[in-house]
Amino acid sequence: MSDHFLILIPDELSYVPEIHAQDKMLQLLRSFGFDDDMIQMTTSESVQFIDQGANFEHILCPLCKNELQLEQWQLLMDAAYRTGFAQLEVVVPCCSQSTSLNDLIYQWPAGFARFRIEIFNPSSDINETQMHVLETALGYKARKIWRHI
Ligand SMILES: [Zn+2]
């Protein structure tokens, strides 16, 4: 048995929508056919890394498009973790340029956030039109993460 989660996070990692915006998103998700017991909205005190689980393939540098070695990425993550992910700016070893851990190209997508919506074992995807409506309610562009465990 394996489970998958469809996770939405705002593209601004410290952003937490107001309660009425969260309610609006819950109503929208219901109207898209997702049941309440499949949907969980979480706000954490600090920024967390929202990973893709078994859907991890590789990580590319957004600047030179080279692949980051996992050990190199882990070192950068460890340093950022010690700041409570308050400091995500890093100098990538591939091209010695500055970027953010949140801007690395994760295949499949992953990201950093305080607020997330998780949909447990959805039978369907959220299409582009639905995404746009959700983003309007959220007040931000959102990143879609498929976590497979
Ligand atoms: Zn690079």
C-alpha 99 to ligand 1 mean position (Å)? 9
Helix (H, G, I), strand (E, B) or coil at 130: helix
Which of 4, 29, 36 lies closest to 120, judged by CA?
4
Question: What is the distance of C-alpha 4 from the center of its chain?
Answer: 14
C-alpha 104 to ligand 1 mean position (Å)? 9
- Measured CA to CA in angstroms, residue 138 lies from 10, 15, 24, 55, 110 at distances of 8, 10, 8, 26, 19
Which tokens in the block code for residue 60? 């590319």
Mean pLDDT of all residues belonging to the chain: 96
C-alpha 2 to ligand 1 mean position (Å)? 34
Whether pLDDT at 1 is above 80: no
Predicted pLDDT at 2: 86
Predicted pLDDT at 78: 97
Domain made up of 1-56+112-149: CATH architecture: 2-Layer Sandwich (3.30)
Residues of the chain with CATH 3.30.70.260: 1-56+112-149
Q: Tens of pLDDT along 22-77?
A: 999 999 999 999 999 999 999 999 999 999 999 999 999 999 999 999 999 999 99
